[in-house]
Amino acid sequence: MDIGLKGKAVLVTGGSRGIGAAISLELGRLGADVAMTCRSRVDDANKVAEQIRQMGCRSMVIKTDASVFDEAEKTIDSVVKEFGGLHALVCNAGVTWDGVIWKMSEKQWDTVINTNLKGYFTYNRAAAKVFKENRYGKIVNLSSINGLRGKFAQTNYSASKGGIIAMSKALAKELGRFNVNVNVVAPGMVKTEMAANIPQEFIKLAVNETVLGRIAESEEVAWVVAFLCSDMSRHVTGEVIKVDGGQYI
């Protein structure tokens, strides 16, 4: 099905594994050229890029740290130069470092906030300049239902993900007149490598919170992101779409 992504250039931050890899592969399947950033797992990202190339689309991997302010514009410039433009940005790179607040260190707080919130700001800011000039663009920021409801032992993570939602809504207002859509996808528990390391009792608790009786597959998040990157979502902006099987309700 052609949803208007063929030949479009998309940058996905944190595209080497899990949800980011699933998003990158789905965009490639739909005909987009996909650039991915990663901080350390370059081999994993290159494997994803090769799969996208086998689909007949261009792909590139950029090793960079999402929390470093100056690197975002360099990354955006590299993608524009390589692909001849940029049509959509998907911010997905993120970390967790859990702990109850009375035991949480400053480093725990700063690491999560700098990667998850500042990292999104740096890429949203850099892409906004391109999209504003071109009077076209799609920004999709990955948050979490825990940014809406909070989560025990995740004050840093919940704050970062809640900040992403507020930032995206403000940015949607700023960029709307330039034909730029800004939206948020907020997954619940998703079956990824990260989830595989979570104790089974916590997985069961998440499953019990859902109304569908299971946690999401990465591809199910990717489908929603692809829709928001496409022209099928041209009248959708400032929205937070939960992909959680009813976990939030």
Number of neighbouring beta carbons within 10 Å of residue 194: 14
* In contact, 248 and 190? CB cutoff 8 Å: no
Q: What are phi and psi of 57, to 5 degrees?
A: -115, 160
Report helix, strand or coil for 224: helix
Q: Where are the beta strands (DSSP E) in 18-136?
A: 33-38, 59-63, 88-91
Please list, in sequence order, all residues whose beta carbon lies within 8 angstroms of the beta carbon of residue 60, skipping any fewer than 6 positions away.
35, 36, 49, 78, 79, 82, 83
Across-strand partners of 139? 89, 182
Please list, in sequence order, all residues whose beta carbon lies within 8 angstroms of the beta carbon of residue 105, skipping any fewer than 6 positions away.
99
Q: Which of the residues are catalytic?
A: 157
